[in-house]
Structure 1
Amino acid sequence: MPIYKTTNPDRYAGRISGQKRYLHEKVECIGFDGLVHNSSNKIFAILGYACDEGVRRNQGRIGAIHGPDAIREQLGKMANHLDDGTQLFDLGSVQCTDGNMEASQDYLSNKVGELLATNAFPILLGGGHDIAYGHFNGIKKHLGPKKSIGIINFDAHFDLRDNLKGNNSGTPFYQISQDCKQEGLPFNYLCLGIRQDANDCGLFETAEVLGVDYIEAKNFHMANAQTIVHKLLDFIGQVDHLYVTIDLDGFSSAYASGVSAPSPMGFSPTVVVESLELIINSGKMVSLDIAEMNPKYDSDTQTAKLAASLVHFVAHRV
């Protein structure tokens, strides 16, 4: 199987208006050879990461390999409020069908760099959270070592497990931290929604050693909005650019059952949307991904709808 595949336009369907009132009428499914640099129009570029090999290695529930298409199917049905000059492209999916996750991450990294070089805003759809390692490397290669990148991760897990026994969906930010250390670069990482029951004491110790900032799930809610705002503003002020990653398993399973590691003790969509609004308004956000969409366990496509709504929100605010 090829490591890259374009998207079948039939993945996007919905009501027919004839006036591009729905996103399936707006999105264009193209290959990378059809993407050219454009400095005048706003461009959003959807790219899938059809891989759950990292989840399998991390002993999670596989099925996220089908996540990108599940999100696309729900996104196409949603109303389009983008202006005529804004372009929405779907560039297909990086695939992993042979267990070689590292090759897929490398390929993803190169493709993210290509998207950023054309002045597009990448929106990546996963797939396991190992998407983050390839995604971050693509951003880093494009921006170069002189620009600092802050990672904001909405997640129940630090994903800071060491990779002594190999890479998986629980190691991406540890891998990034070690790369930054070797290259003499700062590791700027903020986690929102961390659960004590989902991270052992060793992971909290690793977070402390690496200087990771975080807000625990018990404090990540709208009643604590002022503290969250201060934390975000402080973090945003320390970096040049922001890479935002949303792990759907951070949400309560009441909102997101279709994930690799569900729990009823997660956060709500409201606090994430309000946080995203602040992040977007900073003008520093350069890329987004949504990870761990697992349609195999999704109830009434609720998780896919949540993911699509987050994509819709960001595309209409950036």
Structure 2
Amino acid sequence: MIDLRTDLAGMALPNPVMTASGCAANGKELHRFFPVSELGAFVTKTVMAEPRAGRGTPRMAETSSGMLNSIGLQGPGITAFLDKDLTWLHEVNARVLVSIAGNTAEEFGEVAERLAAHPAFAAAVGVEVNISCPNVANRGLVFACDPVSSERVVRIVREKLPPGTSVFAKLTPDVTDIVSVAEAALRAGADGLTMINTLLGMVIDTDLLRPQLAGVTGGLSGPAVRPVAVRALWQVTAAMRAGRLPWAPLIGVGGVRTGRDALELVAAGASAVQVGTATFNDPSRPRRVVDELEAEITRHGFTRFADVVGIAHERTAS
């Protein structure tokens, strides 16, 4: 038997596999295929203060090795999310990592405050701060592209949540130096980091000779981004091992379809992994990754998941 338990800054999980935000709605749809309580944690679709209709259609486009999405953070708003979605997740005993966002740093704080005040917050094992969403107050950039903006958002959220709540900042790979952004988020009070969000991409319809997405650009996800996720995890873990960053747990996300894919992110430094785009093709995929990752750990002769986290840093080719 393999010990799959993982501890993410006090967020104790029975296994390290989660959904990725936005790829499984808020749980009910996925629950038809397997009990969502069997996952280490269920990550909700990013919720904002008010309901959002999202962007115009078409919103999604396939690529040869993944897909682009331009949903625009469509959602019901924090009130409906708390009363319906989070309450339901609490009823089915799911461990929930709640993904939050805001158009401004202050809105992030408002969402966090309202979340913490609701009885269903008892289901939350932590909060994922999606600082890689569009920053409307800053010309459509993203908070996570700037260390100063990242620090401000995380600091505000940290202040609005009860002490002991695990806070994970979700970072974008679309930066020159992800270590500097990681440093800012950790300095502001983040307990850990989720890496990575989608990469900014674009598809041209070669029949109509125009952008295929109504929003022109979108977030690239799927197998194509996994090497980028591995690189980001490696760089931040290496900075921690070198003493340039304080030690903090990392959640790896990007192109995970199988247990072997998950193992690659874990070996680079992830203490948990999220399964996203693969869920669209196979809704049972997150649960199957749990078993496949266990088999991979067994194949390598380990008995504890924790012993594999970051192991590639100890085996760098000379």
TM range (shorter): 0.3 to 0.5
TM-score, with normalisation over the residues of structure 2?
Answer: 0.34
